[in-house]
Amino acid sequence: GAVVSQHPSWVICKSGTSVKIECRSLDFQATTMFWYRQFPKQSLMLMATSNEGSKATYEQGVEKDKFLINHASLTLSTLTVTSAHPEDSSFYICSATRRRNTEAFFGQGTRLTVV
């Protein structure tokens, strides 16, 4: 199957700093990438959908100025958590699809801890 690499796998940062998470499709071109947040023992909450070269579409309740998404190429999308606070601590996971309406391939996820 296709490979999606997410980096870093875990990060600890101080409150008020920004953290960038990268999501790369290694062996295919991803037309669409999704960013999710997952709380312990809960489902994946869709945060935003990004298409290469266009602005991300954010879900209701997700602050676009807080969670900056850039999809600069067909193989790379980044999520920047700006001015992080402890309540932003969570597991962030990306996924990518080759074409519309096909299966999603997930990255390994990033465990963010804000102290």
Partner 1 sequence: GQQVMQIPQYQHVQEGEDFTTYCNSSTTLSNIQWYKQRPGGHPVFLIQLVKSGEVKKQKRLTFQFGEAKKNSSLHITATQTTDVGTYFCAGRSDYKLSFGAGTTVTVRA
**Is there binding between residue 14 and partner 1 (CB under 8 A)?**
no
Contact pattern from residue 59 through residue 78 relative to partner 1, giving x for each residue in contact according to CB under 8 A and a dash for the rest: xx------------------
| Contact between 38 and 16 (Cβ < 8 Å) | no
Cα–Cα distance between 30 and 75 in angstroms, integer? 6
78: left (phi over 0), alpha (psi -120 to 50) or beta: beta
Residue 40 contacts partner 1 per CB under 8 A? no
CA distances in angstroms from 107 to 16, 60, 65, listed in the order given = 26, 23, 23
**Which of 10-18, 20-28, 44-52, 73-81 is the region at the interface with partner 1 (rule: CB under 8 A)?**
44-52
- Interaction between residue 42 and partner 1 (CB under 8 A): yes
Which residues of the shown chain bind partner 1 in the complex (CB under 8 A)?
Answer: 1, 32, 34, 36, 41-46, 49, 51, 57, 59-60, 93, 95, 97, 100-109
